[in-house]
A and B are shown apart, each in its own frame.
Chain A
Amino acid sequence: MSEIKVNKVSPRTGTYVSLNTVGMKNIIINGDFSQAQRATSATGLGNGDDGYHTCDRWKLLESGTPTYEFTQSQSTDVPSGQGFATSLKMDCTTADASLNADNLIRIAQIIESQNLQYLKFGTANAESLTASFWVKSSITGDYSVSLYNYGSGGGARIISSTYTINSADTWEKKTITYDGDTVEAFLNDNTAGLNLTFTLGSGTDYTSTDSTSWGSSSSGKLAYGQVANIASSTANNFYITGVQLEAGTSASDFEFLPVDVNLGRCQRYCTVFMDYGAGDTNSNRLYNSDYANVHGMARMGYPRMRVEPSLTYSSVGFSIHADYSSNGLIQLMASGDTNFRIYDILAEAEL
């Protein structure tokens, strides 16, 4: 039988929470940008290109009718000796040195509300949150990072803070702690709960109102404190990796996850099938089978996602006239066509 003898037992110092302090402490999914199911690079991103383009779970947000354009990519430029293999890169390819008042460039992750209940938002015990990340930019100066609480019916709320890039083109680690929101809770379902947003450039419409403490959201608060504009020159690049958001008032080391775990978490929101992106090749085709010797039906199962996903595909010379799919099963019918296939199949259930 084992025996443990100690001389003294001391209480732990500092704040901590009882859940998510060990294992899955990072509220952010794919914070090391290691998963990029859709593509590893997307060019010409600018006006009208809100959405998900490369690294999983990370959404590009733009506003107004900007003239800037970026190439977004999964990069292997990483901080040395920190264990990261990939980062997200934003490379300005068409400059806009003077953003219009309604222009905004942001990268965000929207977090599902039912994953956030332990933060106890909307109560006096709301947990503080600490964001930590590595960043490298051609443009020194102040950048805004905000948390956006979608709320549970009482209206959206926001808090923001800033960090400073001190040296151009040099990896720096930043840490920001936010108070918990004691006013507005999260819904407890599969909808958007919280949004962590990094601003890369902003017009004056979004920087006019102090948002350094929690309050009702408004346009003027979205990028409060943002000074830098990475769209100012085509020589500009912005990199980020190691994004972690955790309960408490201090940042712990980045939580690296096995690829199967990280990919599985991403696939709740985006799943690509077979050799997605390879085009109409044998390894990338879903063929039909006959249905009633007259119609063609293509079927394929997959793990359930956040909600029944939108399905994007390419086809060869036929028209699918009915979609009997549900969450976890693709089921497409082509009337009067018993010989068809689809390829480059993408299922998206993003927030």
Chain B
Amino acid sequence: MNFISATYMYDMEGVNKTHIKLELGNNKFKHIPMNEANTDYQAILTWIADGGTVIDNGGSE
């Protein structure tokens, strides 16, 4: 999976992380739900385990 950056997205209350937003370039994005049955999320977990970092700005832009 190729992407420029990965950022956590939060719920309405701004408390719980719900998705990871990938910036793919050219105004294209991918939202991955934080559900371990989602195979993209499994891939992201592997990427994190290999040293990747998901940006956490608390839900603000």
Interface, chain A (partner B; CB < 8 A):
48, 190-191, 306-317, 319-325, 332, 335, 344, 348-351
B residues whose Cβ falls under 8 Å from a Cβ of A: 2, 9-12, 18-19, 21, 24, 26-33, 35, 37-41, 59-61
Q: Which residues of A contact B40 (CB under 8 A)?
A: 310, 348
Q: Is the CB of B2 within 8 A of A324?
A: no
> In the docked arrangement, what's the CA distance between A325 and B24, Å?
20
| B32: A residues at CB distance < 8 A | 310
> Is there contact, CB below 8 Å, between B39 and A322?
no
Contacts of A309 in B (CB 8 A): 33, 38
B18, A323: Cβ atoms under 8 Å?
yes
Chain B residues contacting A48 (CB-CB under 8 Å) are 2
Contacting residues, chain B, for A315 (C-beta < 8 A): 27-29
Q: Are A350 and B39 in contact (CB under 8 A)?
A: yes
- Residues of B contacting A344 with CB < 8 Å? 28
Partner of A349, one of B19, B30, B38: B38
A-B CB proximity, top 9 nearest: A307-B37, A308-B33, A323-B19, A310-B40, A312-B30, A311-B31, A310-B32, A323-B9, A314-B28
On whether the beta carbons of B9 and A321 are closer than 8 Å, the reply is yes
Q: In the complex, which residues of chain A have a beta carbon less than 8 angstroms from the beta carbon of B9?
A: 321-323
Complex formed: what's the CA distance from A290 to B48 in Å? 36
> How many angstroms between the C-alpha atoms of A313 and B30 in the bound complex?
7
B28 near A321: Cβ-Cβ < 8 Å: no
Q: 23 A-B contacts, Cβ less than 8 Å apart?
A: A190-B37, A191-B37, A307-B33, A307-B35, A308-B33, A308-B35, A309-B33, A310-B32, A310-B40, A310-B41, A311-B31, A312-B24, A312-B28, A313-B29, A316-B27, A320-B29, A323-B18, A323-B19, A323-B21, A325-B33, A335-B61, A344-B28, A348-B40
* Partner pick for B38 among A308, A312, A322, CB 8 A cutoff: A308
Having A308-B38, A322-B9, one finds 9 other A-B pairs with CB under 8 Å, namely A48-B2, A309-B33, A310-B31, A314-B26, A315-B28, A322-B12, A323-B9, A325-B31, A349-B38
